[in-house]
A and B are shown apart, each in its own frame.
Chain A
Amino acid sequence: MLRSYLKIAWKVLMRRKFFTFISLFGVSFTLMILLVVMAMFDHLVGPAAPVKRVDRMLFVNVIRHQMVDGHGWMNMPASIHFVDDYVRKMKTPEKVGITTTSANATAFTKSKLLALDMSYTDGNFWQIMDFDFVGGRAFTPEEVKNAQQVCVLNEATARAYFGSTDVVGRTIEIDLKRYRVAGVVRNVSAAQIYAYADVWVPYTLSPEFYKDNRLGGEFLVLLLAPSAQALPAVREEYQQMLKRVEIPNPKEVKAIFSYADPMLAGFTRALLNHNDQTVDDDNLTSFYLIVGGLALLFMLLPALNLVNLNVTRILERSGEIGVRKAFGAAGSDLVSQFLVENLVLALVGGLLGLGLAAGALALVNEAHPVAYAHFSLSWRVFGWGMVLTLLFGLMSGVYPAWKMSRLNPVAALRGSGEQK
């Protein structure tokens, strides 16, 4: 029966090429835009080198200080005191690493000035992240502890400065300080805020590195859980640990709040923040609801257009519906037939949409809107694309199919669209 449905679905598509074109255009264009957005989103929060084990990672972006007497809030990344004396003493994480958001730095070659982004990290950072080394190695905990003048460069910087990537052991001068190159890694997309930089150096070299008892500092904290299943336990231990934190200036700071969040939850907490910053909600559910709602809304317009076209085309096919009913098709048979037809259309549109999305992403990559970012359609995005396609096929097919199944067979054979 399915073969017969597919056969007729194909014939129906071919019968009115202009209508088919309009329908396919609606489906494929909508899906293209959604897929491009999804590919970008996936690039931002999905597992990709060097953040390959994102499902096991938690990130601490800020420590929120609630000031006394309604003096508002102060949000700052963590200090080394907070990391060393509290976070590193946690038992559930497998590793705790730190990094900073990249800061501007300058290097001079013989002929030009290089504007670089520099990050300060510890040794664990390199074990939590899976950087792809072109040559050399990361700096070691020993080198970090001793504040040795070493660095890791990305490929682009190595090429721009030395004209080659084979530069391990050579010296680079950045902001008038000289660093020995320990290793060279493949370029990391600037969209990956925890991993991106042009140059990485030990955090002990940072001018902002103070050893006092302040909680606020400049470090983003990375926690690697032993498994994805262990994430809730690590999050919970982080919250428990926070209760033990001694506030160094209680006359100014009433309380502190901080969260170890998975990548996306970290963004949603910051993006959809409400006035009361003491609420523990990471807003992930709200984010999914908003994004899902927007995607549905975006698909609704072409879906309604397709519903309209489908309902009109039912009248054209009333004779066939009448015949099928006369020869024993129940309403459910006709609903299945029409849904199969619509899903075939959506699937063709979906595949076209995938092709268009691949083309659009290639154009975006050509334009280099984000440094070193390469947006692509992963299997995960492809899977989501197929889910959206099926959703689209069902959204635009159910009502016309139901309407079709309700046609009175006698009226249908006469060629009118009278309902039962």
Chain B
Amino acid sequence: MENLLANSPEHRTQPAAVPNGATPVLQLTNIEKVYQTKTIETVALNQVNLTINRGEFVSIMGPSGCGKSTLLSLMGLLDEPSSGTIEVDGRAVTSFSDKELANLRNLKIGFVFQSYHLINDLSVVDNVEVPLLYRKGMSGKERRQRALTALDKVGLSARTAHFPGQLSGGQRQRVAIARALAGGPEIILADEPTGNLDSVMGEEIMELLMDLNRRDGVTVVMVTHDEQQALKTERVIRFFDGSQVS
């Protein structure tokens, strides 16, 4: 009964306020994520309400283990919340099947990971093509063209035939950003994208993300430990022990 009440509209906590004129692209309401083992129950996220508007550059900060990455996984539809609802473009995805979620990820979301997660067996351009492989009806020629355009955007036109092992950390992260961009997503979710890079390279990647946000209007949500970089974004959301503190 308690659960039913908690999920009914009257009892639902309102999501974060949406500024005038802004369109929410991601909306999280009453999100809880609990990891359960036989002996222990760990609350990773506790009653999180969060709205990300179209075109925003938001950074999420907090100490290790506070639930930042879990939050990003939920936003990226890679994981399911224990309770609460996630809406993408105003549509609740709770009842979506595995296939529908995969399709939604493919169309709307691009990921950038701290450790790049490039496929070492594939060349740079083949890596960038990966999201487009799952786009129905797209020809091989168009895939290649879009991958090359994305690589051009991150300044790696000259490295298309290289393999990840032949690139520096900064270049690999650029490839990862090109891969995230290739499918033309509305949202880029970046999990500590500069975490493995030195400050100069980190700065470059940060500039690239900001440029994508400013020029192409891509919504960026970035998890970071770096206060300086976080301050460059429009909004900083801080987490502590699974709860949003500001």
Contact = CB atoms under 8 A, between A and B. Distances in A.
B134 A329 contact: yes
Contact of A8 (B99, B107, B119): B119
A322 B117 contact: yes
A365 to B, nearest CB: 43
Nearest to A320: B119
A4 B134 contact: no
A180 interface: no
A409 B79 CA distance: 8
A1 B73 contact: no
Interface in A298-347: 319-320, 322-333
Given A8-B119, A15-B121, A410-B73, A325 B78 contact: yes
A3 to B, nearest CB: 7
Contact of A1 (B105, B131, B133): B133
Contacts of B78: 325-326, 409-410, 413
Interface residues of B, number: 29
Given A1-B133, A7-B126, A330 B99 contact: yes
Contacts of B146: none
Nearest to B118: A323
A328 B134 contact: yes
Interface string B114-154: 00011101100010011101110000100000000000000
A12 interface: yes
A12 B106 CA distance: 25
Contacts of A1: 133
B105 A326 contact: yes
A333 B102 CA distance: 10
A330 B107 CA distance: 13
Given A322-B117, A328-B134, A8 B105 contact: no
A12 B120 CA distance: 10
B103 interface: yes
A11 interface: yes
Contact of B130 (A324, A410, A413): A324
Nearest to A408: B79
A164 B182 CA distance: 78
A8 B121 contact: yes
A91 B11 CA distance: 90
Nearest to B119: A320
A322 B179 CA distance: 14
A3 B105 CA distance: 23
A170 to B, nearest CB: 72
A332 B121 contact: no
B128 to A, nearest CB: 10
Contacts of B179: 327
A8 B122 contact: yes
B122 A323 contact: no
B99 A332 contact: yes
A328 B126 contact: no
Interface of B: 73, 76, 78-79, 98-99, 102-103, 105-107, 110-111, 113, 117-119, 121-122, 126, 129-131, 133-135, 140, 179, 183
Nearest 6 pairs of A and B residues by beta carbon: A328-B106, A11-B121, A327-B131, A328-B134, A330-B102, A330-B99
Interface of A: 1, 3-4, 7-8, 11-12, 15, 319-320, 322-333, 408-410, 413
